[in-house]
Structure formats: structure tokens, C-alpha cells
Amino acid sequence: MSEIVKIVEVGPLSGLHHEQQKLTAEQKVQLIRYLKNAGLQTIEAGAFAPAHVMLNLADSSYVVEGLSLFSEGLTLPVLVPNLQGYENAMAAGAEAVTIHLSATETFAQKHLNCSIEESLGRFLPVVEKAVANHIPVRARIACVAGCPYEGTVLSSQVVNLAEKLHKMGVGEISLEDTIGVANPAQIKRLLFDVTSSVPLSKIALHMHDTYGQGMANIYGGLEFGVRTFDSSIAGIGGCGFAKGAAGNVATEDLVYLLDGLGYASGVDLESLVRVSHYVADLLEINPRSKTAHVL
């Protein structure tokens, strides 16, 4: 039997957030339905954050309600920035949440509007409540390899934060190379250091393709033993830090790799490529996946 790799589809959340063309709540629900039909089982679905430009509160409530119609067998984490967001998400029917932190102070200040320590304080009651109510929490740590403001990031900065999140009760910690500067050797060193205090089974990788290294970094992660990877349908989302630059690794290219290596992701590549073209058409872009251009 093939070994299982879990894909966390982030297109409907982080992907759409960075695209110029906006989708309606109905279109988002439809997109998630198609992604599910292609075999994806974990999809970051929306955000309960007033400041989150694209997915405002009302919209995400609508998405979560729409999703309840077919969400059997799906895990649909929604981004919550604080306890209020968590309560709103729960009120709307969400059953899993994502929290977002940063490994560097400057990125935290500029993008999360607080210090790293403050964000931990802010998320502590969220995680405590979630754990008490059996709501899975995943944490994404931005800038694990490099920061647009501070440059190279030491793994000690990540280790410290990951350990605290793990002790809080966070179930999955996604290491995000937000600006795509990592190389596979760096990723392996980081994983080596982080897994000194967090079990490997709780670690996910969220690789960006800014310099074309996303797939090599994922392969490095697979070699190390990581079995959970974030990716974005059609590579949507781009890069928030350099116009025209690539962002998230495309889910199609990731599935192509996993199929080739013999891992079971549960995703059907041909169906997925159809979803890629569907969302690219809605957004009036070309799919940023190489695979989608061939199949």
C-alpha cells in the first residue's frame, strides 16, 4: 500500500486573497466543491478577520454555511486572527481553524500588527478553547527561511515558536517559506532543528516558488519524512512582495510529483487540472501550474 501524503489546499484562502479579481461567496463555495470532487480533503476555506480584505466576515459566514451542504469528509480550516474571530467562526459553523504567526518581529509587526509575543498571547485562549471543544488548530509560521525585512532567518527563531505552539496544543504547524528563498538543504536543517521539540507528524511545509525552488524544497521535505504539504490550485496567490513573481506551489505540480514518487494523496490529477482551468478562467489569469499547461 502506498504511503499517504496529505495536501492542504490553500487556494480558496491565501490564493484568492492575493488575486486582483474577486470571487463571489457562491463561486468560492463552488470552487471548494470542485476541489473536493478532485479528491482534496483539507481545504483552507476562508477567514474570520475583519481586516482580511477579500474574505470579510459576512462572506466567510456565507462560505461556511454553503459548505455545510457538502462538507462531509472535508476538513475546512478558516483563518482566525483572535478570540473574537474564533467565536464568529464557531458561530458560523466552522469546524477547524488556522492561526497565522511570524518567525520574525518585523514581519509580525507589519503584517499581523503585533509582536511575536503578543500574537502568542492572543492565540493562547483561542487554542485553549479549540482544544477544549475538539476543534483542530493549524498554525502557519511565516518567514521560516527568510524575511523580506530581516533577511535570513535562523532556525532557532522558528524552533522556539513551534515548540510553544506545540505545547499550547496546536495540532499542525505549517512552516511557511513566505518569500520562497529556501533551498532543500536549508529546509532539512530546519526540520532537523524543529523536530527536536515537535513531532515530525505535526509538521507541514508551505513552500513558495518565488525563485523556482518550491518543488525541490518539497522533495527535500519528503525525503526528511514530512507528509503534509500546503499548495494552491493553479498556483494562485502570487507573491505579495515582488510584482509578477511566483507564489504558492501549484497543487497540480505537487500532485504530479507525489504520483510519480508513488505517494497516495487521494487527488485525481486530471480532475484537478480541470479545476485549475476553472478557477483561472474566473480570475482571468493563466494557471501558474506547469502541469495545467500540458494536461
Q: How far apart are CA 56 and CA 67, in angstroms?
A: 16
Edge to edge, the sheet with strand 228-231 lists: 42-43, 6-9, 228-231, 203-207, 172-177, 137-142, 97-102, 78-79, 46-47
What x/- string results for residues 29 through 68 when contact with a copy of itself is judged by CB under 8 A? ----------------------------------------
Strand partners, 243: none
Identity of the amino acid at 175? L
Q: Is 261 in the site for a copy of itself (CB under 8 A)?
A: yes
Residues numbered 152-171 forming contacts with a copy of itself, rule: CB under 8 A: none
Q: Would you say 70 or 211 has its CB closer to a copy of itself?
A: 211
Shortest CB 241 distance to a copy of itself, Å:
9
- How does DSSP classify residue 250? B
Residues written for the chain: 295
Which listed range, 16-24, 30-38, 52-60, 246-254, lies at the site for a copy of itself (CB under 8 A)? 246-254
Q: Is 151 in the site for a copy of itself (CB under 8 A)?
A: no
Catalytic residue list contains 239: yes
Q: Which three cell numbers stand for residue 101?
A: 504567526
Which listed range, 50-58, 77-85, 131-139, 287-295, lies at the site for a copy of itself (CB under 8 A)? 287-295
Alpha-carbon distance values, 8 to 41, 106, 186, 208 (Å): 8, 27, 22, 14
Give the one residue of 119, 195, 213, 232 binding a copy of itself; rule: CB under 8 A.
213
Task: Look at strands 151-152 and 146-147 and give their pairing.
Answer: antiparallel
Q: Is 251 in the site for a copy of itself (CB under 8 A)?
A: no
Residues designated as active site: 239
Binding footprint of a copy of itself on the chain (CB under 8 A): 181-186, 209-213, 215-216, 218-220, 239, 242, 244-246, 250, 252-253, 256-257, 260-262, 289-291, 293-294
